[in-house]
Amino acid sequence: MARKRQQQAPRRESRVRLGVAVLGVALVAVLAVGALVFLNRPSGSSLPLVKPAPPPFAAGTTKGLAGAPLTIIEYSDFQ
C-alpha cells in the first residue's frame, strides 16, 4: 500500500503543477485581453459627427442623381 502511495505522489504533483500552469496562462490571457479592450476603446470626443444625407431627388419616373454611375431600368406589365 505504501508503495502505491509513493508511485501516486509524483503523479499528483505533476497534475497540480499542470493545473497551476493552466490557470496561470488563462489568467494572463484574460488580463491581456482586458488591457487591449481597455486601451482600444474610443473616447467620447473622438467620434465623428455624422450628418444625415439629404433625401434623393424624385421627379416623375426617376429617383436619385442624374449623374449616378449606375442606371437601373425596370420594365413591368401589370395586365
Q: Determine the structural domain holding residue 32 and report its residue range.
A: 1-43
Is 15 part of a structural domain of the chain? yes
The answer, yes or no, to whether residue 57 has pLDDT greater than 80, is no
Q: How far apart, in whole angstroms, are the C-alpha atoms of residue 55 and residue 34? A: 42
pLDDT of residue 36: 93
Is 6 part of a structural domain of the chain? yes
Is 67 part of a structural domain of the chain? no
Kindly state the DSSP code that residue 47 receives in the 8-state scheme. S
Give, in order, the Cα–Cα distances in Å from 47 to each of 12, 66, 71: 54, 33, 35
Is 9 part of a structural domain of the chain? yes
Is 73 part of a structural domain of the chain? no
pLDDT of residue 49: 75
- For the chain, the first-to-last Cα distance in angstroms comes to 95
Taking only the tens place, the pLDDT of each residue in 16-55 is 999 999 999 999 999 999 999 988 887 766 666 778 776 6
Kind of pairing between the strands at 58-59 and 62-63: antiparallel
Is 39 part of a structural domain of the chain? yes
Indicate the number of domains in the chain.
1
